[in-house]
Each structure stands twice: as C-alpha cells, then as structure tokens.
Structure 1
Amino acid sequence: MSPAPPARRLRLGLPRRVFSQVLMMQLAIAAGVVVLATGLFLAPLSHQLDDQAMRRALAIAQTTAAQPRIAQDVTTTPPTAEGPVQQEAERIRLATGAEYIVVMDRRGIRWSHTEPKQIGRKVSTDPSRALAGEEVMEIDSGTLGRSARGKVPLRDGRGDIVGAVSVGIAYDSVRARLIHAIPGLLAYEGGALAVGALAAWFIARRVQRQTRDLAFSDISGLLAEREAMLHGIREGVVALDRTGRVRLLNDEAQRLLGLGDEAVGRSPDEALGEGRTADVLAGRVAGTDLLTVRGRRVLVANRMPTDDGGAVATLRDRTELEQLGRELDSTRGLIDALRAQDHEHANRMHTVLGLLELEMYDDAVEFVGEVVGDHRATSEQVTEKIQDPLLAALLVGKATVAAERGVALWISDRTRLPDRLVDPQGLVTVAGNLVDNALDAVAGSPHARVEVELRAEGRTAVLRVRDTGPGIPVEQRELVFTEGWSTKEPPAHRKRGIGLSLVRRLAERQGGSATVGEAAGGGAEFTVVLPEALAGPDLEPALTMPSAPQSATEEES
C-alpha cells in the first residue's frame, strides 16, 4: 500500500504569480496615494474653512459697529430686551445668518444677545483686546458653545471707544461644510482608485506576457543559471540588441575576440574594427559555421536572430584540436602516397632484378640513378615553391598518383606560397579535391596534363587547377558545385558529386569564392580565392583543425 501524499501547506504572504504580485503592489500603491492625497487635502481644508468663518464673523462685526445709531444708543439708552440696540443687532443677525451678535459697553455689559435674559449681564469671554482698539478673530467657547468669533471696537461719532461688538458663527456649521465636502472628495478618490486599478491591471498583464507568467523567484533563479551557464561554457557568446549593439559578452567571447567590458553598448564595427569578424557578428554575412580570423585565431561563428529583433552569435576556437587534425591529415596523405607508389615501386624493383640477372650492371645503376633523381627533382621543385609542409606533401603524393595514371602533374612557375597559412588543412582539402577531379577528367586521354598554381596576393591565397580534359560546358559551370552532381556514370554516381560542393562550401565559409572557367588551350580551370587565408608577416600562422569532417566519400569528386 503506497503512502498517502503529504498534505500541501498553505502559502502565506504574496502569491507566486508575477501578475498577482504586480497587481497587488500597484493597487496598494494607488490606495496609499489616494489616502495620502485625501489627508493632504482635508488638513488644509479644515484650516481654510476656519479662517473663512472667522473672517466672515469679523466682517459682520465691522458692519454692525459701523452703524452710528448703535454707538449712540449704547451711551443714551439702558440695556433692555426691547431696546433699540437689541432690535438692530437681531435684525443684522437674522439678515447675515450669524449665530449671535453681542453689543457691549466698556464695562463688558451686554446690550444685545440671542437670549434676552443674558442682556445686562457681563460677557463670558474677555473683551479687553477689542475694548483696547484691536480687531480679533478666534475660535472660542462661550455661553452658546464653540464658535468662530470676530470682535471689533465700537466707536462714537468722535471716534472714542464706547464698547465693542462680538459676532459668532457656530463652529458646527464649519464642520458641516467640511463633512459636506467629503462625499464629493470620496467620489473623486473612488474614480482615481478605479483608474489606478485599471492601469495596474494593464501593467500587470503586460509584465505577465513579457515574463511568461514566471514568478519573481523563478526569474531570479533563471538569471543566476544564465550567468553561470554563459560564463561556464567553452564557447564564446555575443548578444546584440535590436540596434545592433553588443549587450552581452561572456568570458570566452572576451578571450577569443580580445575585448573587455568596454565593448558592451558599442556596435561590432566600433568594438572590433572593420573586417569579416564584425560583418559576421552584425549579420552582413549569412550562413552557418562561418570561418573568420581574429588575430592568430580562426573562429567558427554562428548567428541566430532573437524574438526581440536582436541576435545571439556563438564563437568556437578551431585551434583547440589542431594537433589531432595535423596528425590525421599527415596519416591520410602518407597512406595515399604509399598506396599510389606500391605498384610503381614493385615494377621498378622487378626491372632492377631483371637487369641484375642479365648481368647488365651498368644499366641497373643508371636506371636506379634516374629513378632517384626524378623523385628528388620533383620533391625539391614542390618544396621550393610551396613552403607549407602539408600542401607540399600533398602535391608530392598527388604527383606520384598522377604518374601512375599516366598524367603529368605540373607545378606552375608562378607558384609561390609562404608558410603563413592560417588554415592549411582547409587549403589541403580544397587542393586535394580539385586535383583529384582534374586527374579523373584527363585520365585515359593522350598527353594528359594537370597544372597547379598557388600564389599569395597579400593575405589572400589564390589556387588555380588547370587540366587538358574535355572542359565543362558554360550552362553547367554552376551545377558542378551542387552536391550530388557528377559526370560519372552509375553505379559510381552514388559516391560522387561531393568534392566540388565541399570545395565551394569551404571557400565561402572563409569569405572566398570558387569558380570554373575554360583553360587556355582547352580543358577546365578551377579558381579558388581565399581572403585572409595568410597571417601577417609579423604573425605566426594559427593552428587549426581540419576544415570539415571528411569521409572517403567526400574526398572523391
């Protein structure tokens, strides 16, 4: 019986989804702003209403004190409920809506009041400042409760102070105005909160789409994993934004390109200078496994566009497997040369044996000398013109193969190639395939000849292979570089048609070209141009691995 799964514990706190977290935070911010705005609005509003009430009370008091009959009646009539002062004060109070209007003499005795029984009594608050000639505004408590008050001195016709006028406006009316303003304020706040909530929802949805609904903890984990991966892999990674500027370089890319963090934010042309490497990174050269040279290094670059309009380029150093590649190429060349020399060597040995048995010793010595001399002459001629040991060994071996097939393999007098090749294996593959095709084309024809020309033009290597074969018709000169195309008849066709395709692919990877035309005197002339195939005179040639994995089938034309 399987154990029951453990019960899930409820998660407390913020939800994991980015959408929910962002929405809650936005709503909290909007609500906080609304509450803060309400407080900031209500605090000065209360003070403004108080000030307005006090100024209104003061204005009513000034208007009342300006009545000349009131000052005269205060000095000539007694304080009674039916007196002229009480009647005039009540008229003004009713007309202005004040809570009370109190007229007093210099002793502080009331001559008017909303409650007639208070007339003739002393006022409950201190009138000294008004009786001293000051105009007073204040919030104070009296017999009628808390009110906003205005007090002014009462002067007679000569300007002498004969009393004072105190006007009050009920403080409850001020509070009522404040409370009356709150519903409207809350309506505005509710509208602002609703707009904020809607904006927060749209922002949260946008963030959700851009983050693919990942939790913040997941995004943080992915970022940490990305940093570890980028700086841990042994391939250079260069990320470019939609404007073509570098936004990320991992450690390996900095090492391969010889750049630092200062390259971030700059275009490839600004960071690297003009050249094929910058063209590949910028996307001006399309293709996969593009070869480019940076200093002494030969790099293989691949560029992939991203959804945001940018791109990511990866760089691999081809020098890392050079030692194994050199050993493999040397072994292949040696095996081909030995296989080609096997029959010829056996025939020569049989000839020497026959001469010795016939006791033609002088002829035997002469024959051996001719054979050895021809071999030395061929090797010395090749190595004198081609200083790269791999290419020289290839052509020496091909010369032996050609001789066995009855073909003369010539090295052009214009051939001059220094030992500064950046990618010698690539050129070995190209030259080997072209020579093999030429030997196949002229095999069996009279006076068969294949001529190889290799020369350096600055840092560019130019290879030409001419033959005396039937040539290639104009309409088929592009088809010959198509994989699977061949002039051979079945059943050999299924193993043919790869060599020339491989030649063009290798040339284009290095930014060069492969073309075919008509040789002088008939036949075909293949021309391969490889820019930046040679290192500068002050640099050592880079160590590189073979240009492409080659099987026996790929080496056939």
Structure 2
Amino acid sequence: MAERRRGQGRGSLARQLFVLQLVVLAVVVLAGAGLALLDARRDGQDSARDQVLGIAESLAAAPSTRTALAASDPAAQLQPVAEAVRRTSGVDFVVVMAPHRTRYSHPNPDLLGLPFEGTITPALAGQVFTEEYPGTLGPSIRAVTPVQNADGAVVGLVAVGITQEALGRQLVGQLPVFAVVVAVALAVATAGSLLLSRRLRRQTLGLRPDELRHTYVHHEAVLHAVGEGLVVVDPDHRVSLVNDEARRLLDLHEPDVRVDEMPDSLRELVRSGAEVTDELHLTGARVLLVSQVPATWEGRPLGTVLTLRDHTELQGVLGELDSVRGFAESLRSQAHESANRLHTVITMVELGRTDEAVAFATAELELSQHLVDRLVAAVGEPALAALLLGKVSQAAERGVALTVSEDTAVAADTGLDPRELVTLVGNLLDNACDAAVGATSAVDGEPWVEVSVRTEDGALVVTVADSGPGMSAAALTVATERGRSTKSGHAGLGLALVAQLVARHHGSVRAENSEVSVVTAVLPLGVRSR
C-alpha cells in the first residue's frame, strides 16, 4: 500500500498541476519583466528627448547665445558655456553652430570648426525637432533648435544630445531592481503554487488523473448498479448523493433532491442523525426497510448514509403468511379442544351416560362447523376465509369474542389481490383486538370485536366494530399517517398499511365513535390501483 501511494505521489494530479503552474507563472513573470524592461527603455528614450529638447530651447533662447554668435570669435565664448551646460545637465554633447554647420562648441575640442553631422534643414526653416542619428560620438537622441535674432532670421543652431550608450548604462543600472522584483514574484508564485498543490493533494488523496477518472467511473457504475437505494446526506442536512434505486423507491424525479422532498418519517430520521437498522417506513405506495449509519473519514463526520430496501412485496407475502399461520394456529387450537371434548365423550360413555355423550358431541360439532360452512359459502376468496377463521381462534385465545356478521359475503372475482384483502382485513382486526383487550363492553362486560366484509354499490366495504375506547377522526388521521416502526413484522404499521392500500385503490377509511368504536374501509371495485 505504501509503495502504491508513493507511486501515486510521483505523478499525482497535485504534482502535475504544481509543475504546470510553476512553468506558467515563471513564463508570465519573465515575460512581464521583459516587457517592463522594454517599457523602461522606451520611457528612458522619451525622457531623453524631453530633456535634450528643453536644454536646446533654453540655450537657443538665451540672449548671450545670440550675442556670442555675432562676435568675431564665437567659439571662444560659446565653448565654455556649452561644456558647463553639458556637465551640469548630464547630456553627452551641446553643440552650437553657424547656419552653415560650422561648430562653435563640442565635447571634443579637436572637432571645433568642423561641419556638424546630422539633419539641420527643419531648424533652418525655424522648426524645433528631435531625431536619432549616428554622429561622431555614436548613435544618439538629439534635439536641434534654431537661434533667431529680433527679426526672426536664423543666426545659428543649437544641438543637444544623449548617446544610446548612456541610455543603456542607465537601463543597466535599473536591472538589480528588476531582478529583485522578478525574484520576489517568482518566490511568491512558487509558494502559492506549493500551498495550492498541498491542498489539492489532500483533497485528491494523492491520486493521479487516470486514477481519479477510474475512481469516478467505478463510483458511478456501482451507484447505478447497486440494488439498494442509497442516499448520502451531509452534516448540514443537504442531500449530496442519490442513486437510481433510491429515486425509484422514493419517487424522486428532480436532479437536485432536498431533504424536505423525502417522506415525513424519512425526513425526521435524517434530521435526527440516529443510527438505525432495518426500520420499517411507509411511503405513498411502498413499504421500505431503512438503515442509517453515520459516515466519517479520518475521524471527521461526513454526514449520514441512508440505505433503502423495497419491502412492499415481502410485506404482502408476510400478511398472507400471517393469515395461513393464524389458520394453522386455529387448527391447532381446535385440535386441542377436540381432544379435550373427545376425552370427555369417552369418559361419559365409560360412565354409561351415552345419551348425554351423543348430545354433547353433536352440539360442539354443530357450533364449529356452522362457522366454517357459513364462511366457505359466503366468502369466495379462500385466503380471506382462512384469515377470518384464524382470527376467530386467535381472538378467543386472547379472551376476545370475535364474531363474523351474518351479512359478510364476498365473491371470488372481486378483482382485488388476495394479499391486499389479507392486509386490509387482518390489520383492521388486529387493531380492533388490541383496542378491545382490557376494555369491557357496557352490555356483557367482555371484550368483543365484530367484523363485516361485503360488497356494496360496486365497492368492497369492511366494517370492524369493537368494545374498545374508540378512535376519533383526528386520531385515525395520525395513526394512518404514521410511517415508521421499529417493531418486528408489520406491528406498529397496521393502520398506516391500511391507509396506503386504500389510497392505492382511491378508496376511503373513516372512524366513528358513538355507542361503539367502528372503523370502516371502502375500496371501489374495478378501479386500477396506483
């Protein structure tokens, strides 16, 4: 593992970006420094032009210059003044000449009296101009200004210049400053790139670009392929990841999912951050098995991970299994009771009381057989008949008298799924028996439940009355909206499962609490479930 991480570090995305940034920043800094040097050179030349032009105009406008030009020996007066101005101003030459180019001043005394090299035609026309010209001292930037008398006639010319070599020396003198600035800029750029590289290395875990791509591809493939719903919520309760199965189970269609869009029970679970395992939750059309665990990385909380498994079909099978199990328990109970009765009959025969034995056996047989025959004849769905028989025996064992009303009648071709019938009737009976246990009837003082299952006006009507304390319409609403249970099986979700089934068939469920507690569920027949 250590070798792998070292291999990752050598070509990691952070290192590659660091090198790339450093190269780019170095090029930018050096290019900027070169442009700054060119700009400094241009500024130096512009400053030199302004300087020589100002000196030339000042010297040409001085009355002493016109006076010296009119003297018999102009050089004797102009040479000392021109040299003093040159040394004071820092220029390389100050040349005063006659209109026919004869020099009266020059830094090199040997060139006095020789013709001036350069352009003078604009100056002879009374204009002031600057130019770059390779003169006797080398290439230079010079300004030429006419000297005019009171009548405006040109009596002489003044040329002041700075050589390119002198300008180069000035630029070279600025190089240390440029070097310091470039070094500081490179140091800052390197430090910034290094800090960014370290931060990026931590965020990418030192992975190379191809590893990041493979990780992302595998991550997406797993999320789309996994059979369980997966929802990842960050510490601020924002949904950061939802896979395809979770979108299907929760009926989510928008690209961005918020916690507020999740079912109520799941929203409460996510916001609580509690760690749970295999809780049953109800959505609008599904029963989900939900687990939630906190997610951490190196001790730092990253939020919670919610996993969802579809329990809808299994819940229906479990309901049907409950009915079969109840029927089996009923048979077991009846077998036990039959054994007791048989022993009683045998004992009575042994005692010679045969007539009483026959009467006893016949009465018990008729009582049990009457209920079975009536349910088999009235209820065309075997699963529902078995459920009702089983619930009668279960209720009897709990001390509850469960009776099936005489108007119970259900055809075999209702179009309803047998498992849905079992879920609907079974949960209503379980809820009624729970309410009746411990409560007493105002008539006989014993807990009782009465159920009626019939078709009426194109709908299946299930009415369950009990001797319990009753349930108001508001209490029924709360019970049917409950979408969460930590109990095993479907306990704790009975009325919520009933409400979910009724909603799928566009039916209704209501509670009445007048003289007795009554809950009625109505499912239209022939309406396709959602």
Global fold match (TM > 0.5):
yes
1:223 deviation in Å?
0.8
Against the structure 1 CA distance between its residues 402 and 304, is the aligned structure 2 distance closer, same or farther, given a 3 Å change threshold? closer
Partner of 2:81: 88
- What is the root-mean-square deviation of aligned Cα atoms in Å? 5.0
Matched, 1:222 2:226: no
Matched, 1:36 2:53: no
Partner of 1:304: 293
- Summarize the alignment of residues 285-324 of structure 1 with structure 2, pairs less than 5 Å apart: 287-307=276-296, 309-321=302-314
Distance 2:65 2:464 in 1: 123
Distance 1:26 1:423 in 2: 70
Distance 2:291 2:13 in 1: 34
Distance 1:388 1:322 in 2: 19
Distance 2:492 2:208 in 1: 59
Equivalent pair of 1:511/1:530 in contact (CA under 8 Å): no
Distance 1:22 1:454 in 2: 75
% identity of equivalent residues: 30
Give the total of aligned pairs: 459
Partner of 2:519: none
Q: TM-score, normalised by structure 2?
A: 0.70
Q: Which amino acid aligns with 2:39?
A: P
Partner of 2:513: none
Q: Which amino acid aligns with 1:534?
A: A
Q: Which amino acid aligns with 2:121?
A: S
Distance 1:173 1:39 in 2: 20
1:298 deviation in Å?
1.6
Distance 1:449 1:65 in 2: 135
Matched, 1:184 2:177: yes
Matched, 1:60 2:25: no
SS of alignment partner, residue 10 of structure 2: coil
Q: Which amino acid aligns with 2:116?
A: V
Against the structure 1 CA distance between its residues 253 and 402, is the aligned structure 2 distance closer, same or farther, given a 3 Å change threshold? closer
SS of alignment partner, residue 109 of structure 1: coil
Distance 2:37 2:190 in 1: 23
Equivalent pair of 1:463/1:529 in contact (CA under 8 Å): no
**Larger mean Cα displacement after TM superposition, 359-368 or 163-172:** 359-368
Distance 1:296 1:114 in 2: 106
Partner of 1:534: 499
- Summarize the alignment of residues 77-226 of structure 1 with structure 2, pairs less than 5 Å apart: 77-78=72-73, 80=75, 83-226=76-219
Distance 1:35 1:375 in 2: 100
- Find 2:484's aligned residue among 507, 511, 514: 511
Equivalent pair of 2:274/2:293 in contact (CA under 8 Å): no
Partner of 1:16: 11
Distance 2:133 2:33 in 1: 27
Partner of 1:45: 40
Equivalent pair of 1:241/1:310 in contact (CA under 8 Å): yes
Distance 1:529 1:342 in 2: 30
- Summarize the alignment of residues 491-510 of structure 1 with structure 2, pairs less than 5 Å apart: 510=483
Equivalent pair of 1:236/1:314 in contact (CA under 8 Å): yes
Equivalent pair of 1:423/1:533 in contact (CA under 8 Å): no
Against the structure 1 CA distance between its residues 306 and 151, is the aligned structure 2 distance closer, same or farther, given a 3 Å change threshold? farther
Distance 2:398 2:246 in 1: 52
Distance 1:14 1:208 in 2: 9
Partner of 2:64: 69
Q: TM-score, normalised by structure 1?
A: 0.67
Equivalent pair of 2:49/2:142 in contact (CA under 8 Å): yes
Distance 1:323 1:317 in 2: 12
Q: Which amino acid aligns with 1:26?
A: Q
Equivalent pair of 2:273/2:304 in contact (CA under 8 Å): no
1:145 deviation in Å?
0.1
Against the structure 1 CA distance between its residues 100 and 137, is the aligned structure 2 distance closer, same or farther, given a 3 Å change threshold? same
Distance 1:277 1:451 in 2: 37
Deviations 1:135-180 (A, max 9, x none): 2123321111011211111112333211211111122221112111
Equivalent pair of 1:341/1:401 in contact (CA under 8 Å): no
Distance 1:335 1:189 in 2: 92
Q: Which amino acid aligns with 2:65?
A: I
Equivalent pair of 1:147/1:170 in contact (CA under 8 Å): yes
Against the structure 1 CA distance between its residues 512 and 304, is the aligned structure 2 distance closer, same or farther, given a 3 Å change threshold? closer
Deviations 1:355-393 (A, max 9, x none): 9x9699995766643342255579999x8xxx9967x74
Unaligned runs of 5+ in 1: 1-10, 442-446, 456-460, 467-506, 515-525, 542-557
Equivalent pair of 2:56/2:144 in contact (CA under 8 Å): yes
Q: Which amino acid aligns with 2:366?
A: G
1:49 deviation in Å?
0.7
Partner of 2:518: none
Unaligned runs of 5+ in 2: 1-6, 411-415, 439-443, 453-462, 469-479, 507-530
Partner of 1:483: none
**Larger mean Cα displacement after TM superposition, 422-431 or 393-402:** 422-431
SS of alignment partner, residue 276 of structure 2: coil
